[in-house]
Amino acid sequence: MLPPSRVRDGGFYILFAGGNLYNIIMSFKGFLAALATSSTFGLIPLFTLPLMAAGMHFLSILFYRFLIAAWILGGVLLLKRQNLRVTRRQWWTLAGLSLFYDGSSVFLLWSYHYLSSGVATTINFLYPVFVMLIMIFVFKEKKSLWTFVALGLAFGGVAVLSLGGGVGGSPSLSGIGIDLCSALSYALYIVWVNHCCVKELGLLKLNFYIFSFASAGMLLLALAAGQFQYVPDVKSDVYLTLLALICTVASNMTLVYAVKHLGSTLTSVLGAMESITAVCVGVWVFGEPFTQKVGLGVGLVVLSVLTVVLSSHLTPFFRRFKYFYLTEVLGRHKTLKASR
C-alpha cells in the first residue's frame, strides 16, 4: 500500500513504479482526466472563432461564457448544498482576482486577430515561466540552472513564432505582445490566488465567484466600449454553451480530479496537450498554416514549460546519471569513494 502522499503527489511513482490495483486504476483515471483537461482548454478556438466570424465581439463572447459557466457551477454547488458565504475580505479579493482572469481571457481572444489560434494558445501556455519569474524576483525563491534553460527555450520559441506565427503566416509582434500579456495576467492570477485568503475556498466555490465577477467585469467593459451584443442566432447560442460547458466548467472539474489522483506535477506536464490540441484544431478545422517555423516555435515553448514543471526532478536525475557515467562507464569507483 502506497503512503497517501505518494498517492496524491507521486504521479510518476504510481504510473511507472507500480502499486496496488486500486492506486493503478485511480492514477489511470487521473491520467485520462489530465488529458481531458488540457484537450478541452485547447478547444477554445473551436468555439470562439466561429462566434467572432459571425460578428460577435470578444468582450460579449467572454461575458456570455463566464455567465453561463457561473450558472452551471452555481447549480452544482446548490445541488451539493454547499455554503456560498464568503467574508468581506474574500469578496474584495475575489473581485480583484477576477480582473487578472478577465485580462488573461481578453488578451488571448484579442490576439486571435493577429495570430493563428494554435500559435496564440501556445504562447499563452508560457504562463508557468512567468510564475517562475515572479516567484524568483518577488518572493525570492532560489534560482537554478533550469530557470535559465527554460527562459532560453521560451525566448527562442517566441522569437521563432514571431517570424511566422501571424495570421496568414506573416510576422506579428503586436499579436505576440498581446498574447504575452495574457500569459502574464494568468500567471499573476495563479500567484495571487495561492498567496491570499481565498485559497481556503473549495475550487468549485472559488471558480463560481471568479466566473461571476468575471462576467460582471466583461459586461461593464463591453458596455463602456460600446461592444455589447445580443446572441445573434441559435447556432451562436450552441457555441457559447459548449464554450462554457466544455472549455470552462468541464475543464476545471477534470483538473480537480487529475490533481487529486495524479499529482500536480504530472498534470502540468500533460497540459502540453493544450497547445497541441489548439494547433491541430487551427490546422485541420480552420486551415491555418503549419510551417517549419511554427512547428519549431511550438516545440520550444512546450519544452520550456516542461523544463519549468520538471525542474525539481531533473536535477536529481542528472546527478544519478553523472554518478552512473563516472562509476560504470569510466570506472572511477575509488576516486568517488575517496572524495566522499
Look at residue 330 in the predicted model and tell me its pLDDT: 66
More confident residue, 337 or 30: 30
- Distance separating the N- and C-terminal Cα atoms of the chain: 35
Beta carbons within 8 Å of 165's beta carbon, 6+ residues apart: 115, 116, 119, 123, 171, 172, 175, 176, 293, 294, 297
Query: Residues 313-328: pLDDT tens digits?
Result: 777 777 777 666 667 6
**Beta bridge partner(s), residue 166:** 115
How much of the chain, in percent, has pLDDT values that exceed 70? 78
Q: Contact 97/193 with Cβ under 8 angstroms? A: yes
Q: Mean pLDDT highest for which of 23-32, 247-256, 329-338? A: 247-256
Look at residue 18 in the predicted model and tell me its pLDDT: 46
**Domain extent listing, the chain:** 4-309
Query: Residues 33-45: pLDDT tens digits?
Result: 878 887 888 899 9
Cell representation of residue 303 = 519544452
Look at residue 338 in the predicted model and tell me its pLDDT: 47
Give the amino acid at 329: V
Taking the CB of residue 226, how many other CB atoms lie within 10 A of it? 8
- Distance from C-alpha of 198 to C-alpha of 191, rounded to nearest angstrom: 12
Beta carbons within 8 Å of 253's beta carbon, 6+ residues apart: 204
Answer whether residue 244 shows pLDDT above 50: yes
Query: Residues 183-228: pLDDT tens digits?
Result: 899 888 888 887 888 877 877 888 899 999 999 999 999 999 999 9
Residue ranges of alpha helices (H) inside 194-263 are 203-225, 234-244, 251-262
- Distance from C-alpha of 62 to C-alpha of 188, rounded to nearest angstrom: 20
Give the amino acid at 175: G
Q: Contact 115/167 with Cβ under 8 angstroms? A: yes
Look at residue 224 in the predicted model and tell me its pLDDT: 95
- Distance from C-alpha of 268 to C-alpha of 191, rounded to nearest angstrom: 15
pLDDT-based confidence at residue 165 (cuts at 50, 70, 90): low
What SS3 class is residue 115?
strand
Cell representation of residue 281 = 484544431
- Distance from C-alpha of 4 to C-alpha of 1, rounded to nearest angstrom: 9
Mean pLDDT calculated for residue range 158-176:
69
More confident residue, 142 or 112: 112
How much of the chain, in percent, has pLDDT values that exceed 90? 31
DSSP letter for 166, please. Answer: B
Answer whether residue 88 shows pLDDT above 60: yes
Residue recorded with cell 504510473? 15
Q: Could you tell me which of 199, 176, 44, 182 has the C-alpha nearest to residue 102? A: 182
Query: Residues 123-135: pLDDT tens digits?
Result: 887 887 888 888 8
Mean pLDDT calculated for residue range 80-93:
90
Answer whether residue 16 shows pLDDT above 50: no
What does pTM read for this prediction?
0.78
Beta carbons within 8 Å of 215's beta carbon, 6+ residues apart: 63, 66, 67, 70
Mean pLDDT over the full length of the chain: 80
Q: Contact 216/91 with Cβ under 8 angstroms? A: no
- Distance from C-alpha of 60 to C-alpha of 190, rounded to nearest angstrom: 24
pLDDT-based confidence at residue 245 (cuts at 50, 70, 90): very high
Q: Could you tell me which of 129, 146, 139 has the C-alpha nearest to residue 180? A: 129
Cell representation of residue 155 = 525566448
Look at residue 8 in the predicted model and tell me its pLDDT: 39
